[in-house]
Amino acid sequence: KRAASAASSTQPLLPRRGYSSESAPERKVAVLGAAGGIGQPLALLMKLNPLVSSLSLYDIAGTPGVAADVSHINTRSEVAGYMGEDQLGKALEGCDLVIIPAGVPRKPGMTRDDLFNINAGIVKSLSAAIAKYCPNALVNMISNPVNSTVPIAAEVFKKAGTYDEKKLFGVTMLDVVRAKTFYAGKAKVPVEGVNVPVVGGHAGITILPLFSQATPKANLSDEDIKALTKRTQDGGTEVVEAKAGKGSATLSMAYAGAIFADACLKGLNGVPDVVECSFVQSSITELPFFASKVKLGKNGVEEVLDLGPLSDYEKQGLESLLPELKSSIEKGIKFANQG
Ligand code: NAI
């Protein structure tokens, strides 16, 4: 089976030559927030993914245009656009995977937590709709603050009686993408072969890249590792400042989101040994959610992998991130349970 042959996340996203739709099962994927800065390029990249048979694009405005545009691309998936809450059910019905980049992005000077007040409500209502219309779908949460929005979704699903901890993912893939790029530059190795696990959460110091486990190995100084760590943690802010008020990362985020969604689809389809980092329910630390390497399978999370050996610098980073991550998780849980 061709579709089951390649598990590597470095696979190109373009359709494979000689692809036949008979070789991959039907998969419906929805993007919620599809007309936004991330949503549009993510819709494009998901349209290029041959594992998708039905692409459902939902937003509160602007989706008919995005859907019409993307639908003309001659790849496998059927595209449909849905706009406004009364069409959300149709957008979600039968979904295998729901990707959520809905909500406001940062402006210069803002932290991800500053987005909480607006995005928490959006995520809460979208999660309630998922529980109602596609309770078995995998959910890829992109909306920030991910450290809080994932716990919010979990609480909403628990209340609805649909929570399956194997199916809820906070998308931290952009931190991995950045760590790989920055490491390759510093270590002067070809970026395509680079791997760097990033653990913890998705905001500031909660983003903990494990450069001691990076491959291929390079002899970087402590100073270099510190600088790489800081740049990975501040990568989002670098883009926010460069965009000077026009939003945060969209193109690199769409790429990272598409790679992660592809890994989830491969897992669903039974491709073996698909491993990516994600913020999931976890027991590898004392916190209920934590990002680490996760093995993806037919039901979503097959195994949460432990952290592996950490350098002293990384051990320190881990200690100092736990309180902040804990309070972001608690903030999400509290929000979901009020009112
Ligand atoms: P954007 O403002 O360009 O697009 C957001 C879209 O969401 C808009 O089209 C808006 O109409 C839509 N939306 C708002 N309320 C909605 C609702 N109730 N249902 C459906 N759609 C709704 O923002 P952008 O740049 O696309 O960012 C989206 C989110 O992704 C932000 O929260 C941002 O912080 C987050 N983000 C996450 C990253 C990560 O690594 N996880 C990286 C970059 C951004």
Residue 72 is a catalytic residue: no
| Ligand 1 atom having least distance to the Cα of 174 | 40
Question: pLDDT (tens digit, 9 = 90+) per residue, 307-325?
Answer: 999 999 999 999 999 999 9
Pair type for strands 274-281 and 289-297? antiparallel
Q: What band does 22 get if pLDDT is binned at 50, 70 and 90?
A: low
> Taking the chain, what is the end-to-end CA distance rounded to the nearest angstrom?
50
Residue 3 has pLDDT above 60, yes or no: no
Q: How far is the CA of 63 from the centre of ligand 1 (A)?
A: 14
Q: Which protein residues touch ligand 1 with a CB less than 6 Å away? A: 32-33, 35-39, 59-61, 101-106, 115, 119, 122, 126, 142-144, 146, 171, 174, 202, 247-250, 253
Write the residue with the smallest CA distance to atom 16 of ligand 1: 102
Question: pLDDT (tens digit, 9 = 90+) per residue, 63-109?
Answer: 999 999 999 999 999 999 999 999 999 999 999 999 999 999 998 99
From residue 313, how far is each of 186, 218, 309 by CA, in Å?
18, 17, 12
Contacts for 239 with CB less than 8 Å, ≥ 6 apart: 248, 249, 252
Contacts for 296 with CB less than 8 Å, ≥ 6 apart: 263, 264, 266, 267, 268, 274, 275, 276, 302
Q: How far is the CA of 26 from the centre of ligand 1 (A)?
A: 27
Rounded to two decimals, the pTM is 0.94
Residue 23 pLDDT: 76
Q: What band does 267 get if pLDDT is binned at 50, 70 and 90?
A: very high
Q: HSE, CB side, 13 Å, CA atoms: give it for residue 115.
A: 25
Which of 130, 144, 173, 175 to probe ligand 1 with, by most ligand atoms within 8 A of CB? Answer: 144
Q: How far is the CA of 71 from the centre of ligand 1 (A)?
A: 22
- Give ipTM to 2 decimals: 0.99
Question: pLDDT (tens digit, 9 = 90+) per residue, 162-186?
Answer: 999 999 999 999 999 999 999 999 9
